[in-house]
Amino acid sequence: MVRPPRHRHQEFLVFCRQVARAYPGVDLHLVMDNYAAHMHPAVKEWLAANPRIHVH
């Protein structure tokens, strides 16, 4: 049985790191849905350490 992709804070952080590496030195604005993965303390900590990434 093939598992569907997960949408947890761990996968969201992987995505954020990939986007940040792909666009170095650029302010990035991520438009988010109401999903809780981006509200996790680990995500908030990473975003605080990366102020050029803006979440809306």
Round to whole Å and give the CA distance between 55 and 4.
25
What is the token pair recorded at 28? 């990035």
What is the token pair recorded at 37? 């993965």
* Cβ pair 42, 11 in contact under 8 A: no
Chain segment 1-56, per-residue pLDDT in tens:
677 677 788 888 999 999 999 999 999 999 887 777 778 899 999 999 999 999 88
pLDDT score recorded for residue 4:
66
Sorted by where each begins, the domain ranges of the chain are 27-56
What is the token pair recorded at 52? 């050029």
